[in-house]
Amino acid sequence: MKAPRSLRGKMVLVALAMLATIGAATLYTGIATAELARSLGLLFSRNQHLEDIKIGLAASSTDLTGYLSTRTPDDLSSFFSNSDSLAESAKVLNRAIREDEGLLLQRELAGLIDRYLESARAAAEAKGSRSVEVYTSRFEDSEKTAALARSIIERVESRNLAASIDAYSGLNSRIKAVIATNAALVVAAVLMAFMIFLSYTWAITGPLSSLAAAARAIEGGDYESEVPHEGATEEIATMANAFERMRRSVRAAFDEQRAKAEIERRLIEEELRLVDMDRKLKDAELLALQAQINPHFLFNTLAAGMQLALSEGADRSADFMDKLAAFIRYALRSPSRLVGIADEIECVELYVWLLRLRFGERFSFSIEVDDGTLGIDVPALILQPLVENSVGHGLRDVETGGIVRISARLEGGEALLEVADNGAGMEEAVAERLIREAMEAETSGGEGGIGLHNVIRRLSLATGGRAKVEMESAVGRGTLVRIRLPAGREDS
């Protein structure tokens, strides 16, 4: 039968259900009360008997332990007295095989009691004859058996207790029903009126409360939760459906507005990105123009200065400008361009000439090159930064006697390029850290100069990672930087 959804149908259904429930409960309570009372009496009697067995078992075990420990006649007499009482109590236990689990537990308990008494009495007799091994073995067996017996008693008591609680609960509820029957005319009328009122109130206020909660959620900006209407009457369900349609409409409008706002935000971000790219492009164009103008202006200026010096007879100044122009021209080559070691040595010689012009006899320089290394290709400008570091850092505090040695030689299938100085040096850990940081760096450091890390990076790219840069140094003993290159040329 389909449940009615209108308020009127629910009122009739609740009234009929309450009348049927009261009649059935009253009839059943009168029949079952007497049987439950008898069952409870039997259960309580069994529990009391089990309690007597448990007490007798504990007393017998205590007396036996005391006798075995002290060997006093009082403990022995009390043990036999409690053992006899325990044996009498165990006689009423079931000893037949039955299908009921409770009776089977009683049969198992009776066997354990008999076994316990046998072991305990044997232990007491062995104690009297001072047979230590026998009474110890018998006592341990009796204790194990007693523990098993207590476990069985606890299981039986748990079963009896559960049954007693169930029976008592049933009896208690049915006693209340019997009492209610005595005042059926009054109580039934009041109860029916209350249940009908409660049913009407719930049928109306429950769905209305859910509808009000949904309205508060929408008021707080929550347009995702659906308006509940399950179990509502036809009248309230109609309102809930209308409210749900309104919620979906509002949510769709908000979703549309959010989508439009997101599209506008992305358009603005894209426009800003394009503006930034346009600005960077203009900056790059300006830098490219400056890069074209500055070298030409510098070379033209140096050439004009050299011609002016020659016309005035200043041969040394003209030589200086000529070498400076040649060095700058080499230094402005593409960092990724490969040159021969011969070109690198020529660049270092130009740089050393300029340093001697600046420092005079303060420092001395030596260049030793193995002819077998001259044809090996390397990235441009990898030795000059190392010489500059030796002069600017290693020999910075040296007034006289400073030496910088530049060498290139073949050794074991490798080309070794070395730049060494006899300056202040540094601790080995500091040298290792400088090499490690230089290898990890991605951009050149300093103020626009070509640093050690830039040299390492270009060597690694040019040789596919086969080139290595090493640094040896000690405090007060100078610093040596060694570049290891594969001796053969690699096809590009």
- Element containing residue 289 per DSSP (H, E): helix 234-311
Mean pLDDT lowest among 1-5, 10-14, 18-22, 29-33: 1-5
To the nearest whole percent, how much of the chain has pLDDT over 70?
A: 64
Domains in the chain and their CATH numbers? 7-182 (1.20.120.1730), 333-486 (3.30.565.10)
pLDDT number for residue 187:
73
Q: Is the pTM of this model over 0.75?
A: no
| pLDDT tens by residue, 37-72 | 665 566 666 667 777 787 877 877 787 777 777 767
Average pLDDT over residues 331-339: 69
Structure-model confidence comparison of residues 232 and 331, the more confident one: 331
Mean pLDDT lowest among 24-33, 177-186, 257-266: 24-33
pLDDT number for residue 345:
92
Q: Rounded to 5 degrees, what angle do the CA atoms 106, 108, 111 make? A: 110
Q: Rounded to 5 degrees, what angle do the CA atoms 104, 106, 111 make? A: 100
Helices 7-70 & 132-182 angle (0-180, nearest 10): 150
Q: Using DSSP bridges, classify how beta strands 414-421 and 338-340 pair: parallel, antiparallel or unpaired.
A: unpaired
Q: Which residues pair with 151 in a beta bridge?
A: none
pLDDT number for residue 492:
39
pLDDT number for residue 223:
60
| pLDDT tens by residue, 358-399 | 888 889 999 999 998 988 898 888 898 899 899 988 898 888
Residue 2 corresponds to which amino acid?
K
Answer for the pair 425, 473: CB distance below 8 angstroms, yes or no: yes
Indicate the pLDDT class of residue 32, thresholds 50, 70 and 90. low
pLDDT number for residue 305:
63
Average pLDDT over residues 5-32: 60
Task: Write 3-10 long-range contacts (CB < 8 A, 24+).
Answer: 5/233, 5/234, 5/237, 6/233, 6/234, 6/235, 7/200, 7/203, 7/204, 7/233, 7/235, 10/199, 10/200, 10/203, 10/233
Residue 108 corresponds to which amino acid?
E
Mean pLDDT lowest among 321-335, 345-359, 375-389: 321-335
pLDDT number for residue 421:
94
Structure-model confidence comparison of residues 292 and 218, the more confident one: 218
User: What integer best gives the mean pLDDT of the chain?
Assistant: 74
Mean pLDDT lowest among 42-51, 159-168, 179-188, 296-305: 296-305
Indicate the pLDDT class of residue 284, thresholds 50, 70 and 90. very low
Q: Quickly list H helices, 312-362.
A: 315-331, 341-359
